[in-house]
Amino acid sequence: CNLTGWWENDLGSKMQVLKVDNDGTFSGEYHTAVSSAKKPIQPSPLIGSQHLDEDGKCTFGFTVNWKKFSDSTAVFVGQCFTGDDGKEVLHTSWLLREKVDSEPDDWKAT
């Protein structure tokens, strides 16, 4: 699986991976289509790592820092598959951590 390029999810968010290094590290930008932040959405930097496998069914993970418009950070993990049509498709899960003002509010931050 080649992560380099543009990817789009079901909600219209887009990710651009600029280059995957020989050790699997990569960087790029995430353009989210959804947000509860009060500031306008802006493209946000991402950095990640891909487990390079011979069979092409690679796993990967990346972090997005929404610092341009939000006080939150998200992490994504996933795997690349080749669909029945021959196109590569990514399946991911994610967690978002929002900043809270106190430790008692920790329960509502993730």
CATH code, 39: 2.40.128.30
Q: Is residue 104 part of a domain?
A: no
Q: Is residue 72 part of a domain?
A: yes
Contacting residues for 101 by C-beta, under 8 A, at least 6 apart: none
Amino acid at 41: I
Residue 106 lies in a domain: no
Please give the tally of structural domains in the chain: 1
* pLDDT per residue of the chain (110 residues) written in tens, 0 to 9: 889 999 999 999 999 999 999 999 999 999 999 888 888 889 999 999 999 877 767 899 999 999 888 989 999 999 998 888 989 999 999 999 999 999 999 999 99
Burial (CB < 10 A; 0-12, 13-18, 19+), residue 13, is: middle
Asked whether residue 109 is assigned to any structural domain, the reply reads no
Neighbours of 63 (CB within 10 A): 14
The model scores a pTM over 0.95? no
Helix (H, G, I), strand (E, B) or coil at 22: coil
